[in-house]
Amino acid sequence: MTQLLLSGTEGIPLSIITTDDYPTWLTKQPAPQQNWLNNTKFSGKGLSIIPSADGAITQVIYVASDTNSYWIFGDIVNELPENHYYLDASDEQLKTAAFSWALGAYKFDRYKKNDKQYPTLVINSATIVEQTLQLTRSVAIVRDLVNTPAADMMPQHLAQTMESLADEFGASVTQIVGDELIEQNYPTIHMVGRASENLPRLIDLTWGDEDAPKVTLVGKGVCFDSGGLDLKPGAGMRLMKKDMGGAAHVIGLAHQIMASNLPVRLRVLVPAVENAVSANAFRPGDVITTRKGLTVEIDNTDAEGRLVLCDALAEANNDKPELLIDFATLTGAMRIALGTELPGFFSNDDEVAAGITAAGLDVEDPVWRMPLHKPYFDQTGSDIADLANCGKTPFGGAITAALYLEAFVDEDISWSHFDVMAWNNRKLPGRPIGGEAFGIRAVFEYLCQRFAK
pLDDT tens-digit readout, 244-265: 999 999 999 999 999 999 999 9
431 and 372, same domain (yes or no): yes
Tell me the mean pLDDT in the region 387-414.
Answer: 95
Reported confidence tier of residue 116, pLDDT bands at 50, 70, 90: confident
Q: What is the pLDDT of residue 2?
A: 52
26 and 67, same domain (yes or no): yes
Provide the number of structural domains found in the chain: 2
120 and 142, same domain (yes or no): no
Tell me the mean pLDDT in the region 223-229.
Answer: 98
Question: Is the confidence at residue 412, as pLDDT, over 70?
Answer: yes
81 and 198, same domain (yes or no): no
Question: Is the confidence at residue 1, as pLDDT, over 70?
Answer: no
81 and 225, same domain (yes or no): no
17 and 81, same domain (yes or no): yes
How confident is the model over 264-295, as pLDDT tens digits? 999 999 999 999 999 999 999 999 999 999 99
State phi, psi for 389 to the nearest 5 degrees: -85, 5
Tell me the mean pLDDT in the region 337-354.
Answer: 98
User: Amino acid identity of 288?
Assistant: I
104 and 140, same domain (yes or no): no
Is 306 tagged catalytic? yes
Task: Read off the CATH number of the domain in which 63 is found.
Answer: 3.40.220.10
- Tell whether 346 is covered by a domain: yes
C-alpha separations of 13 from 17, 64, 83, 224, 269 in Å:
13, 17, 11, 47, 47
Q: Which of 232, 369, 392, 450 is catalytic?
A: 232
Q: Where are the beta strands (DSSP E) in 342-437?
A: 344-347, 368-369, 387-388, 415-419, 423-424, 434-435
Q: What is the pLDDT of residue 114?
A: 86
392 and 285, same domain (yes or no): yes
Q: Would you say 399 and 107 are in contact if contact means Cβ atoms under 8 Å apart?
A: no
How confident is the model over 290-311, as pLDDT tens digits? 999 999 999 999 999 999 999 9
How confident is the model over 121-166, as pLDDT tens digits? 999 999 999 999 999 999 999 999 999 999 999 999 999 999 999 9
Task: Read off the CATH number of the domain in which 154 is found.
Answer: 3.40.630.10
273 and 322, same domain (yes or no): yes
Tell me the mean pLDDT in the region 377-399.
Answer: 94
**C-alpha dihedral, 158 to 163 to 165 to 166, nearest 10°:** 140
Of the three residues 99, 124, 149, the one that is the final residue of a domain is: 124
Which residue segment(s) compose the domain that 155 sits in? Answer: 136-451
- Tell whether 129 is covered by a domain: no
95 and 161, same domain (yes or no): no
Rounded Cα gap, residues 199 and 422, in angstroms: 24
Mean pLDDT of the chain: 96
Of the three residues 101, 124, 147, the one that is the final residue of a domain is: 124
- Give the three-state DSSP class for 417: strand
pTM of the model: 0.97
212 and 275, same domain (yes or no): yes
Q: Would you say 319 and 268 are in contact if contact means Cβ atoms under 8 Å apart?
A: no
Of the three residues 67, 91, 124, the one that is the final residue of a domain is: 124
224 and 326, same domain (yes or no): yes
Q: What is the pLDDT of residue 218?
A: 98
- Tell whether 367 is covered by a domain: yes
Question: Is the confidence at residue 193, as pLDDT, over 60?
Answer: yes
How confident is the model over 33-83, as pLDDT tens digits? 999 999 999 999 999 999 998 999 999 999 999 999 999 999 999 999 999
Sign for the pseudo-dihedral over CA of 257, 258, 260, 261: positive
Is 201 tagged catalytic? no
- Tell whether 320 is covered by a domain: yes
Question: Is the confidence at residue 377, as pLDDT, over 60?
Answer: yes
* Percent with pLDDT over 90 in the chain: 97
- Tell whether 131 is covered by a domain: no
Q: Which of 143, 241, 292, 306 is catalytic?
A: 306
